[in-house]
Chain A
Amino acid sequence: MSAMELNELWVELPGPGGPRSLVRGVSLRLEPGQVLGLMGLSGAGKTLTACALSGLLPAPLRVAQGRLRLDGRALDLTRPQAWRGVRGRRVLLLFQGAGAALDPLMRVGAQISEALRQDRAMAAAQARQITGQALERFGLDSDAARRYPHQLSGGMRRRVLLALAWALRPQMLIADEPTNGLDAASRDEMSLMFTQLTRELGAGLLLISHDLRGMARWADHLAVMEAGRVVEQGRAGELLNRPSHPLTRSLVESLRYLEGGHA
């Protein structure tokens, strides 16, 4: 698999005084099997970038400009029709709070199977089998598939999402704050699972998180966003040791503070 490239993404919000750009010319590059961490303060446009990368921007926001290169093909992000057949198959977005995004009226296993069978000629039995394997792979027992979402704890629901990603095998996986609200140990565990999944699938993971420690530990590349722009981008090690942009520097400093000590 080749790298995934996002070129010049512009997201704007139409308004009475003319459209306002909330994402300005963001370009990112994702290597297969690698984790790209997207950092920045709240409101920098990280989530909007993630949504735009799956054609799931909430109205009235729209993509003004942007192209995504996937597998040698270029997708024009301004056209919503481009996403049919791509979403769920080549790109999977796990948006913020997705653990609560399971349909309460449908069994968990069925929610994975239906995604598997969409647009793929797959028999129900086979889909069930893959679903079972996926759930087991992430530590959920064999009858988890028959449970309803409200019967699972928050942590278990997040693993269901991991299982879904494993089953669907997308080329690009986007995870927006997957470890939000977890304690430190669970965060590490979840980040590890995401990283392992990425390597196993050979997919590219775009990870958005406020967990600086996690990012420092698991990300291969880092990109820092501020006010809709990417202000710095590069290999994780380099960025953390020699930050050039003031925002990156302050982020790195708070990281040192967290890790180092309270002197």
Chain B
Amino acid sequence: MSTAPSLSAWLARRLGAVLLVLWGVSLVAFSLQIICPGDPAELILRTRYETPAPEKVAQLRQSMGLERPAHEQYLAWLGRVLCLDLGRSYRTGEPVAAQIAARLPATLELALASFALVVVLSTLLGLCAVWRRGRWLDRVLQPLSLGLVSLPSYWLALLLIALFALDLGWLPVAGFGGPATLVLPALTLGLGTAAMQGRVLRVKVLEALGQDYLRFAMAKGLSPARIVLRHLLPNALVPMITLWSMSLGSLLGGVVVVETIFAWPGLGRLLVESLLNRDLPLVQGVVLLMALAFVLSSLIADLVQRLLDPRLSVEGSGV
């Protein structure tokens, strides 16, 4: 007897796990302060071009609460974070939350554009390969997609820039502005993932094609159109939708490099800049936000899969 838990019970359990994980993430983010060599107070003074005289450093340390024991500092920090106060940048003194909010839209734009690209392109690649299975298109697409998956995004970016921006002059080299500037970054970010998902889609559709329920649908006398639309596609798409939901999170990972190459004013570039400037609060803020987004996207992916597949959500007594 296999009983699937009700939706609310399942959701409650998952949320509990998510909260635990986020707590762990906060620990990691906080501990960056500890592993970062150097005195934060000295750091602040240096980045503001002030000489770190010992009295000034001590004074600053006191006001920042750096003399208190670690766990007290952590709790204070966590309390602030939960109130959405992410501290102030070492370098500029501006609130971190405001800076992050300012840069967020650019990253969202890039992520969504890449996501759309991933969905469309992977579907095309996967279905093409199945439709023309065994013929030359499929034979070419297989190694081609393996090559695309192996292509490092930063190299792909440079090649695309060299070809489309410098050689052909169709698209701008970098920068943030109209839709033309979005093309190359989105392409760079999404192409590798799209190729990978296309391969998986091909496998899933081929699997679905070999399933008995398709044969049975034919035996029942259903038209090919109906079989494809009502039986093949749903069964192939359910695992795909889960994968797509998960790829949204992993696109976040590639955002850092892509934004740097294309001078895209988003969170990824902010992170790299802050790391090079040793501006810890900004780093912590971005890390927290990205981890949160990633964890939530996995949760949504699981939720979506659960809602789409009755075998996961509806109580079953069958074998």
Contacts and interface: CB of A to CB of B under 8 A. Distances in A.
A114 B316 contact: no
Interface stretch (B56-64, B189-197, B213-221, B263-271): B213-221
Contact of B219 (A92, A103, A114, A148): A92
A88 interface: yes
A85 B222 CA distance: 9
Chain B residues touching A, range? 20 to 34
Interface stretch (B142-150, B165-173, B223-231, B285-293): B223-231
17 contacts: A86-B221, A88-B221, A92-B219, A93-B219, A95-B212, A95-B215, A101-B215, A102-B213, A104-B213, A114-B230, A115-B220, A115-B221, A115-B222, A118-B221, A148-B310, A150-B310, A154-B319
Contacts of A222: none
Contact of A102 (B216, B218, B308, B316): B216
Interface string A146-174: 00111111101100000010001000000
Contacts of A104: 213, 235, 309-311
Given A104-B310, A150-B311, A114 B226 contact: yes
B315 interface: yes
Interface of A: 54, 56, 85-89, 92-95, 97-98, 100-106, 111, 114-115, 118-119, 148-154, 156-157, 164, 168
B216 A95 contact: yes
B213 A103 contact: yes
Q: Which of B216, B311, B316 has the most CB of A within 10 A?
A: B216
Identify the 3 closest CB pairs spanning chains A and B, nearest first. Answer: A88-B221, A101-B216, A101-B212
A168 B215 CA distance: 17
A118 B213 contact: no
B298 to A, nearest CB: 23
Given A88-B220, A114-B222, A115-B222, A106 B319 contact: no
Contacts of B8: none
A180 to B, nearest CB: 14
Interface of B: 212-213, 215-223, 226, 230-231, 234-235, 238, 308-311, 314-319
Given A56-B215, A56-B218, A153-B317, A105 B223 contact: no
A103 B217 contact: yes
A137 B99 CA distance: 69
A8 B314 CA distance: 49
Contacts of B309: 104-105
A47 B33 CA distance: 71
A94 to B, nearest CB: 7
A152 B216 contact: no
A46 B227 CA distance: 27
A152 B318 contact: yes
Contacts of A148: 310-311, 314, 316
Contact of B318 (A88, A98, A115, A149): A149
Contacts of B315: 151
A77 to B, nearest CB: 15
A52 to B, nearest CB: 13
A54 B216 CA distance: 11
A97 B316 contact: no
A105 B216 contact: no
A233 B163 CA distance: 74
Contacts of A114: 220, 222, 226, 230
